[in-house]
């Protein structure tokens, strides 16, 4: 079973909560917007815990080191069967990120290798906007975070 782990970073002001989402880089995603954004995430390396994976991937994809308490969210299963584990964490960073890169043959069957950023865009979004942008299988992460944060305000 394929697994992935990521961090849903959030920031709060007195009137607004925003979440940090990223858009996958590379030629296949260039013109795809709504429904294609994601939580920064990736697959674990041998011997690495899922929480360590989430922290490493967030730093690799954004250049930002998440510090502080991680709130585990319920895992989800994406259409392809991959199980995604996610932790929410408070933080703030400039969405002008520097992501690591990957190399693929492009154009296909051309024999030419080209490098692309793993993440080509990042943004802060309120929950309503984030639900339009994010991969629909990941919306439960948004719902759960919103629920947890609103229950904390009541206590």
Number of domains in the chain: 1
- Return the pLDDT at 155: 46
Q: Which domain holds residue 115?
A: 3-153
**pLDDT the model gives residue 118:** 87
Q: Are 104 and 24 in contact (CB under 8 A)?
A: no
55: burial class by Cβ within 10 Å (0-12, 13-18, 19+)?
buried
- Average confidence (pLDDT) over 102-117: 90
Q: Could you tell me the pTM of the whole model? A: 0.91
DSSP 15: S
Q: Does pLDDT of 149 surpass 70?
A: yes
Rounded percentage of the chain residues whose pLDDT exceeds 70: 98
Using alpha carbons, select from 9, 118, 21 the residue that is nearest to residue 73: 9
Q: Which two tokens stand for residue 124?
A: 């802060």
Tens of pLDDT along 113-130? 999 988 999 999 999 999
CATH number at residue 42: 3.90.79.10
For residue range 34-64, list pLDDT tens digits in order.
889 999 999 999 999 999 999 999 999 999 9
């Amino acid at each position: 079973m394929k697994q992935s782990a990521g961090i849903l970073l959030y920031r709060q002001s007195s009137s607004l909560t925003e979440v940090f989402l990223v858009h996958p880089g590379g030629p296949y995603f260039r013109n795809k917007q709504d429904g294609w954004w994601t939580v920064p995430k990736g697959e674990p390396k041998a011997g690495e815990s899922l929480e360590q994976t989430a922290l490493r991937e967030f730093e690799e994809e954004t250049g930002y080191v998440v510090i502080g308490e991680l709130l585990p969210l319920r895992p989800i299963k994406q259409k392809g069967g991959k199980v995604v584990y996610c932790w929410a964490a408070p933080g703030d960073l400039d969405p002008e990120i520097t992501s690591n890169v990957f190399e693929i043959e492009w154009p296909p069957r051309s024999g030419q290798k080209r490098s692309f950023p793993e993440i080509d865009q990042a943004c802060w979004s309120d929950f309503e906007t984030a639900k339009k942008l994010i991969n629909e299988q990941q919306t439960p992460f948004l719902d759960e975070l919103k629920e947890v944060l609103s229950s904390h305000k009541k206590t």
